[in-house]
Amino acid sequence: MNPDIIFGFHAVKTTLKHDVARVKKLLVIAERKDERISQVIETAKTLNVPIERCNRKQLDEQTSKAAHQGVALVCEPIAAKNEKFLEGLLDGLTEPAFLLVLDGVTDPHNLGACIRSADAAGVHAVIAPKNNSAPLNATVAKVACGAVNVVPYVQVTNLARSLQQLQQRGIWLAGTSGDAQQDVYQANLDGPLALVMGAEGKGMRRLTQENCDFLLKIPMAGEVSSLNVSVAAGICLFEAVRQRKHL
């Protein structure tokens, strides 16, 4: 399996802080010697991470000419969590569960942005089906600004069954749909909650929607009929945060 190349300062610093065990080496552009680079190099030295100086062309090739900011990590591929991990996580919670479920989100940029929002909102895990979902890769890590090392990404074999198991734990499933009768600001999002988002355009699959306890929508005032899934997730997650903190 090919190694992951994690690039950009936020993603690199977060990986070194939270997931250094899978880091093979740090790549830095030789001619760059500013304070930002120096701090990353010092952190890598403290953690005994090998450091390799390279030129810009070499780093461009390693990162497929992405916006690497002159720094990257070569890492063991990050693996998604499974159902057994999710069960253990939920068993160990000392507060009401707060989950984000993504059904059919296949674009890594959208997945990365959703995981970043989930981290900011304090979500315990992001759940998605193994099939027809974006995998964890360097693009996801870059967009998520390192949140992939903090928020568990759980891929399940059968999403409908997993949703039913969440319900059996007393977790309410709130699905998002343009056809919903109540909007996100009317819905009760306090207590154990899993927010279920569908892919852009298609939305949730029929069976996923049927397993939701209730549906909600984001009120739209303009001409567009829907929002990017990561934007919609951020709006709904932080409305839930507001309610859960009783603001």
Q: Are residues 68 and 97 in the same domain?
A: no
Contact, 193 vs 97, CB < 8 A?
yes
For residue 68, pLDDT over 60 is answered with yes
Q: Are residues 28 and 137 in the same domain?
A: no
Question: What pLDDT, on the 0 to 100 scale, is given for residue 9?
Answer: 87
For residue 177, pLDDT over 70 is answered with yes
Q: Where are the alpha helices (DSSP H) in the chain?
A: 9-18, 35-46, 56-62, 83-92, 108-121, 138-143, 159-168, 206-211, 229-244
Q: Are residues 57 and 107 in the same domain?
A: no
Helix, strand, or coil (residue 216): strand
Q: Are residues 71 and 192 in the same domain?
A: no
Name 173's bridge partners: 194
Question: What pLDDT, on the 0 to 100 scale, is given for residue 41?
Answer: 93
Q: What tokens does 99 get? A: 């989950």
Q: How many domains does the chain have?
A: 2
Question: What pLDDT, on the 0 to 100 scale, is given for residue 149?
Answer: 82
Helix, strand, or coil (residue 4): strand
List the one residue out of 13, 1, 21 whose CA is nearest residue 41: 13
CATH number for 137: 3.40.1280.10
* Full residue range of the structural domain in which residue 66 is found: 4-75
Question: What pLDDT, on the 0 to 100 scale, is given for residue 28?
Answer: 93
Q: Of 14, 41, 75, at which residue does a domain stop?
A: 75
Q: Of 52, 75, 98, at which residue does a domain stop?
A: 75
- Is this structure's pTM higher than 0.85? no
Q: Hey, how many other C-beta atoms are within 10 angstroms of the C-beta on 54?
A: 16
List the one residue out of 58, 88, 97 whose CA is nearest residue 74: 58
Q: Are residues 133 and 219 in the same domain?
A: yes
For residue 195, pLDDT over 80 is answered with yes
CATH number for 70: 3.30.1330.30
How far apart (Å, rounded) are the C-alpha atoms in residues 21 and 15?
9
Greater pLDDT, 102 or 68: 102
* Phi, psi torsion values for 196, nearest 5 degrees: -110, 120
Q: What tokens does 238 get? A: 């932080």
Q: Of 22, 53, 75, at which residue does a domain stop?
A: 75
Q: What tokens does 159 get? A: 């999403």
Q: Are residues 139 and 236 in the same domain?
A: yes
Contact, 103 vs 42, CB < 8 A?
no
Q: Are residues 35 and 108 in the same domain?
A: no
Question: What pLDDT, on the 0 to 100 scale, is given for residue 1?
Answer: 58
Q: Are residues 127 and 209 in the same domain?
A: yes
Q: Are residues 42 and 156 in the same domain?
A: no
Structure confidence by residue, pLDDT tens digits, 115-168: 999 999 999 999 999 998 998 887 888 788 778 888 999 999 999 999 999 999
List the one residue out of 143, 145, 162 whose CA is nearest residue 102: 162
Q: Are residues 127 and 210 in the same domain?
A: yes
Q: Are residues 216 and 109 in the same domain?
A: yes
For residue 192, pLDDT over 80 is answered with yes
Average of pLDDT values for 35-45?
A: 92
Structure confidence by residue, pLDDT tens digits, 72-115: 999 888 888 999 999 999 999 999 999 999 999 999 999 999 99
For residue 64, pLDDT over 80 is answered with no
